[in-house]
Amino acid sequence: MKEIVKIGVLAILFIGCGGGSSSPSKGVLSDGNPLNRVAGGFIDSQNYRIVTTPADGLSSMMCQGGKGMLLIKNSIVTGMMMAGLSRPCVVFGTYVPETGKMTGGFKEMEQMVGNYSGLMNIDGGKGTWSDDFGCHGTWEALKD
């Protein structure tokens, strides 16, 4: 049964706003980091802080990281993000509790400008993003 995760205020901040599946488990890997837990599980109405980082060598005025907030609810992902001097972006997507996979995109002023994917669990998640401006990098979400 797919649950849609809503990213209320997904604060993945990219420049100009552009800017693997596993079995569900509750175990923690050997390093003890809760973000390294196997992804998946039902997430309902949970807020997360998001931090995005451009790939090595891309940090510049065109490719900046950012911060923000996100809400996951009922497997629908929606939210907002900001980076540098860019305009706010709307974030949208879906979350699949059985696998922990989260995918979606982001828009600036109703125009699609990028996408993201990654794995989530109740504690947070990690993944990658790319935009239409040639920037890409990683994102990390932590339970708020």
pLDDT digits (tens, 9 = 90+) for 109-136: 889 988 999 999 889 999 999 988 888 9
Question: Quick one: average pLDDT of 136-140?
Answer: 94
Q: What's residue 82's pLDDT?
A: 85
Range of the domain at 98: 15-143
Q: What's residue 38's pLDDT?
A: 54
Query: Is there a domain that residue 71 lies in?
Result: yes
Question: Which among 76, 73, 71, 63 is positioned nearest to 114, based on CA atoms?
Answer: 63
Per-residue pLDDT tens over the stretch 38-90? 567 777 778 888 888 899 877 667 788 877 888 898 888 888 888 766 678 88
- Looking up residue 102, the CATH number of its domain turns out to be 2.40.128.120
Query: For the chain, what is the domain count?
Result: 1
Q: Please give the Cα distance from 106 to 44 (Å, whole number).
A: 21
What is the torsion angle, in degrees rounded to the nearest 10, for the CA atoms of residue 123, residue 73, residue 104 and residue 61?
Answer: -60
Q: What's residue 56's pLDDT?
A: 83
Full-model pTM: 0.71
Q: What's residue 15's pLDDT?
A: 38
Query: Is there a domain that residue 1 lies in?
Result: no
Q: What's residue 1's pLDDT?
A: 40
Query: Is there a domain that residue 36 lies in?
Result: yes
Query: Is there a domain that residue 7 lies in?
Result: no
Query: Is there a domain that residue 5 lies in?
Result: no
pLDDT confidence band for 23 (50 / 70 / 90): very low
